[in-house]
């Protein structure tokens, strides 16, 4: 039996596009000699559909699309994911399911049992878990079909009390197929490979796994579909961050080693780079946008975002706005201009000195002679936000936010100023990683000026300002933040690792009191195991750690 894995980029709720793409790849798989073509979890509607699932019309459109897809399954079978109605009154109204389609008809329905409700997942909000399981017979082989999380309950601290495969294995299947919508993080590919290999070894069966690719607002899917033999040896690894279709002979997977080529594994920074480009591109294309605008300060954050945007959208579609103030250094303006010249994007220079002075003048009576402080600094940042939004409104540009994760974590940013935007490109990238990204972007030629990379970071909102005036050095700050955010460690555990107690408590307090800012920031492209946004839900008024 020849099995095709179709790793595709779906668009949530775009049934016409998704259905056409699926049908086109059914034909491509058929032309390639496949007996069965496998599509991803909730492929018909896109993942995650969220509260679209509460609309009866949405569910009907899913079923209509599936029936149209079925018409094209002649001389080839397919497996495709979609939500289906729960005909039993008790419980949730839907199942996260997969159709097995053969000879133009739905022959079998497989329902997901283990519904993740953690981090970015919220499936139990919508779906009823399956309680019965049955294999699928096709071409003389018996298939144990599971959906994403159903294979993930195989570790030292299981989240669920049951395993679908423990029941399916009793029917003596020949192969496991798993369809998934498994979001990207720069650590997830290694975890995914281990989980699937452990399943292959535990059940002594080959595993065929297909993942989605593409970005859905903040969630990015990296593809990387996989095939393992019964010994848990990886036989194939499909492309990352690209659509792909490959056909595998089950007999060869079972008996021939190293039959299929595997791509070279990417480093963490390479993965983050490729994920962010995909995230920007899909956010724009799926929203019907074409052109971006951002404030270009001469600093490393805006430089990296500008470079990524130009790679994702084309330099001709990116407008960078230089907004020097009376505190901006000459070299910052020149660094920004050097980047523009290196990369070829559009730019405007709009000085804000006179605007800031106008605010200073009209606020003299209200400020009652109090000295210059954070208020005047934030006014400058908000002036820049207004100018960026004015460019957006006038020309239809979509504003890119350039705040990094370190800044987001400790609240080092101005609401309605430098924290505004439609999508936060590097809001899940620590400052130390931003420096690595800049060096990677420059690997073939200088795009980001060297001076932008080597100079001390500064917001330039007061004379001789440096980030280090308000924050610890980033190499220390980021290590503490990583332990707290990604590793979920409290102050005591972090201090026991050797970090200064006063510093740790100060940083964790800054993280907690900045929660109100993060509630009001744009969606953040998720590249880490724990990103701000829908995957990290903290109370604004909580007292813990303050």
Look at residue 255 in the predicted model and tell me its pLDDT.
Answer: 76
Look up tokens 């001389």; give the residue. 75
- Angle at Cα 179 formed by Cα 178 and Cα 180, nearest 5°? 115
* Nearest CA-CA partner of 428 in 219, 226, 173, 141: 219
Q: Is 302 labelled a binding residue?
A: yes
Contact 235, 228 (CB under 8 A): yes
Q: In what order do the strands lie in the sheet with 136-138?
A: 136-138, 141-147, 175-179, 207-210, 226-228, 234-237
* 402 annotated as a binding-site residue: yes
Domains present along the chain, CATH in parentheses: 2-265 (3.60.110.10), 271-467 (3.40.50.620)
Catalytic residue among 45, 73, 148, 408: 148
Residue 329: CB partners within 8 Å, gap ≥ 6?
Answer: 298, 460
At 157 the pLDDT is 73
Q: Give per-residue pLDDT as tens, 46-58.
A: 999 999 999 999 9
Torsion of CA 452, 458, 459, 460, to 10 degrees: -100
Give the β-pairing of 175-179 and 207-210: parallel
Per-residue confidence band for 546, with pLDDT thresholds at 50, 70 and 90: low
Q: What is the pLDDT of residue 497?
A: 97
Between residues 464 and 393, the one the model is more confident about: 393
Does the annotation list 118 as a binding residue?
yes
Catalytic residue among 112, 235, 291, 431: 112
Q: Annotation-wise, does 258 bind a ligand?
A: no
The pLDDT value recorded for residue 232 is 94
Is 354 marked active-site?
A: no
Per-residue pLDDT of 268-310, as tens digits, reads 999 999 999 999 999 999 999 999 999 999 999 999 999 999 9
* Residue 396 marked ligand-binding: no
Give 182's strand partners.
none
298 is in an annotated binding site: yes
| pLDDT-derived band at 481, boundaries 50, 70, 90 | very high
Q: At residue 220, does pLDDT exceed 80? A: yes
Predicted confidence (pLDDT) at residue 262 exceeds the cutoff of 80: no
Nearest-10 crossing angle of helices 268-287, 300-313: 60
217 known member of a binding site: no
- What is the per-residue pLDDT for 462? 62
Q: What percent of the chain has pLDDT over 90?
A: 88
20 is in an annotated binding site: no
122-166, pLDDT tens digit by residue?
999 999 999 999 999 999 999 999 999 999 999 777 889 889 999
Output the pLDDT for position 426.
Answer: 98
In this structure, what token pair is assigned to residue 157? 């601290």
Q: How confident is the model at residue 504 (pLDDT cuts 50, 70, 90)?
A: very high
- pLDDT band of 457, cuts 50, 70, 90: confident
pLDDT band at 363 (very low <50, low <70, confident <90, very high): very high
What CA–CA distance (Å, rounded) separates 310 from 300? Answer: 15
Of 39-43, 366-370, 433-437, the range with the lowest mean pLDDT is 366-370
> Any known ligand binding at 344?
no
* Catalytic-labelled residue, pool 2, 30, 41, 431: 41
112 is catalytic: yes
Whether the pLDDT of residue 99 is over 70: the answer is: yes
Residue 148 falls in the annotated catalytic set: yes
Is pLDDT of 467 > 90? no
Q: Confidence class of residue 260 from pLDDT cuts 50, 70 and 90?
A: low
517 labeled binding residue: yes
Closest by CA to 41, choosing from 211, 242, 239, is 211
Return phi, psi of residue 210, to 5°.
-120, 130
Q: Which residues contact 312 (CB under 8 A, 6 or more apart)?
A: 276, 277, 278, 280, 281, 284
Annotated ligand binding at 330? The verdict is: no
Query: Picking from 151-155, 314-318, 463-467, which range would have the lowest pLDDT averaged per residue?
Result: 463-467
């Amino acid at each position: 039996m020849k099995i095709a894995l179709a790793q595709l980029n779906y668009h949530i709720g775009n049934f016409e596009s998704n259905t056409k793409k699926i049908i086109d790849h059914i034909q491509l798989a058929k032309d390639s000699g496949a007996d069965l073509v496998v599509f991803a979890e909730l492929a018909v509607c896109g993942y995650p559909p969220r509260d679209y699932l509460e609309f009866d019309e949405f569910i009907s459109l899913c079923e209509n699309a599936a029936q149209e897809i079925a018409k094209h399954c002649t001389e080839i079978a397919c497996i495709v994911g979609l939500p289906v109605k729960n005909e039993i009154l008790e419980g949730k109204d839907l199942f996260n399911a997969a159709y097995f389609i053969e000879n133009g008809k739905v022959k079998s329905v497989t329902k997901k049992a283990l519904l993740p409700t953690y981090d970015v997942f919220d499936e139990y909000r919508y779906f009823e878990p399956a309680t019965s399981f049955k294999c699928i017979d096709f071409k003389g082989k018996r298939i144990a079909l599971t959906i994403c999380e159903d294979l993930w309950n195989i570790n030292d601290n299981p989240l669920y009390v049951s395993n679908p495969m423990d029941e399916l294995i009793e029917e003596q299947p020949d192969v496991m197929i798993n369809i998934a919508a498994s979001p990207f993080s720069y650590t997830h590919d290694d975890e995914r490979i281990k989980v699937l290999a452990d399943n292959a070894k535990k059940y002594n069966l080959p595993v065929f796994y297909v993942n989605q690719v593409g970005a859905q607002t903040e969630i990015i899917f990296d593809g990387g579909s996989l095939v393992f033999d019964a010994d848990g040896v990886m036989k194939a690894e499909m492309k990352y961050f690209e659509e792909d279709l490959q056909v595998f002979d089950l007999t060869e997977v079972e008996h021939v080693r190293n039959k299929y080529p595997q791509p070279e594994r990417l480093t963490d920074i390479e993965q983050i780079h490729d994920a962010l480009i995909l995230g920007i591109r899909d956010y724009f294309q799926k929203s019907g946008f074409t052109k971006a605008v951002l404030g270009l300060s001469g600093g490393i954050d805006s430089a990296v975002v500008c470079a990524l945007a130009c790679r994702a959208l084309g330099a001709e579609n990116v407008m960078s706005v230089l907004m020097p103030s009376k505190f901006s250094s000459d070299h910052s303006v020149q660094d920004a201009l050097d980047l523009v010249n290196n990369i070829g994007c559009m730019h405007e220079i709009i000085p804000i000195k006179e605007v800031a002075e106008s605010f200073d003048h009209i606020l003299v009576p209200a400020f009652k002679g109090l000295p210059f402080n954070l208020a005047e600094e934030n006014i400058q940042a908000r002036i820049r936000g207004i100018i960026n939004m004015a460019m957006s409104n006038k020309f239809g540009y979509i504003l890119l936010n350039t705040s990094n994760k370190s800044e987001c974590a400790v609240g080092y940013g101005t609401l309605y100023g430098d924290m505004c935007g439609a999508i936060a490109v590097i809001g899940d990238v620590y400052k130390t990683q931003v420096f690595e990204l800049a060096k990677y972007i420059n690997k073939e030629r200088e795009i980001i000026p060297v001076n932008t990379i080597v100079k001390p970071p500064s917001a330039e909102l007061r004379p001789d300002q440096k980030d280090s005036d308000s924050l610890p050095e980033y190499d220390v700050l980021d290590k503490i933040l990583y332990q707290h955010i990604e590793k979920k460690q409290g102050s005591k555990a972090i201090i026991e690792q050797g970090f200064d107690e006063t510093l740790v408590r100060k940083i964790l307090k800054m993280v907690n009191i900045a929660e109100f800012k993060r509630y009001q920031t744009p969606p953040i492209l998720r590249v880490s195991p724990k990103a701000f946004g829908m995957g990290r839900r903290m109370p604004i008024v909580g007292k813990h750690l303050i």
